[in-house]
Amino acid sequence: IFFLQFVFHSYTTGFALINGNGTAKAEGYSVQEKQIFYSLGAISYAACIGAFPLVFMNRYTMRSPLTELIVRKLLPAPLLGLMSAFTVAVVRSPEFEHGIEVVDRNGKVIGVSQKAGEKAVRETAVSRGVLFGTTFFLPNALAYFVQRAKLAKTPRNLAIVRMLFTTLVLAGMLPASLSMFPQRGEIKRADLEPEILSSTEETVLFYNRGI
């Protein structure tokens, strides 16, 4: 269980690392040792949290129907969503520590803003959590109703149905999560640092959110 969680979070964390803010400022620290260290820590922590409920249940032989329902059906989806958001926030933490570039409507760089970096990372973390939380929850919920209605006669058929539901939900949620927030994010000038306020009269500035 831990291994599967570790592989999943390694992939999503690597994706977040590669597809972070694409400005020149971000490129300068994209492979810093600190960021890689944070990534490994986040992956290990997320894998442990994801595997813990089932390991705990098996370790203490807690096999009641209620425990099975909570641990196997209810907990995994929110945990996966939360840990996916957590790993994004950790791996891209340099963006709100050092800031990202903000530009005006014409693409002219106005300055580097930590507040814009924080907003970009927060939006990406929310979209990633929604993507994987929903993708994990809905197929299991739909498969449960299929099982209750006895539409799938064998465990093999139920597994096929669950895989089909997962594919369909993922195909729908991927564009939905990416469109939750615009790729070219906006931030009000009044919400930025004082040095940026004095550099422009624009009321709204823009930044690259990353994926």
CB contact at 8 A, 24 and 98: no
Q: Is the pLDDT of residue 6 over 80?
A: yes
Task: Name the residue range of residue 139's domain.
Answer: 1-208
Q: Is the pLDDT of residue 82 over 50?
A: yes
Express each pLDDT in 104-157 by its tens digit: 988 899 999 999 999 999 999 999 999 999 998 898 888 888 888 888 778 888
Amino acid at 47: A
Express each pLDDT in 180-196 by its tens digit: 998 889 999 889 998 88
Mean pLDDT of 13-26: 75
Instruction: Write down how long the chain is.
Output: 211
Q: How confident is the model at residue 32 (pLDDT cuts 50, 70, 90)?
A: low
In three-state form (DSSP H/G/I as H, E/B as E, the rest C), the secondary structure along 11-73 is HHHHHHHHCCCCCHHHHCCCCCHHHHHHHHHHHHHHHHHHHHHHHHHHHCCCCCHHHHHHHHH
Q: Is the pLDDT of residue 42 over 80?
A: yes
Q: What is the pLDDT of residue 59?
A: 72
CB atoms within 10 A of CB 54: 15
- Identify the DSSP state of 74: I
CB contact at 8 A, 13 and 39: yes
Distance CA 211, CA 206 (A): 16
Sign of torsion over alpha carbons 64, 62, 9, 11: negative
More confident residue, 199 or 9: 9
* pLDDT cut 90: percent of the chain above it: 36
Number of domains composing the chain = 1
Distance CA 27, CA 21 (A): 8
User: What are the CA-CA distances from residue 57 to residues 62, 65, 80 (Å)?
Assistant: 5, 12, 18
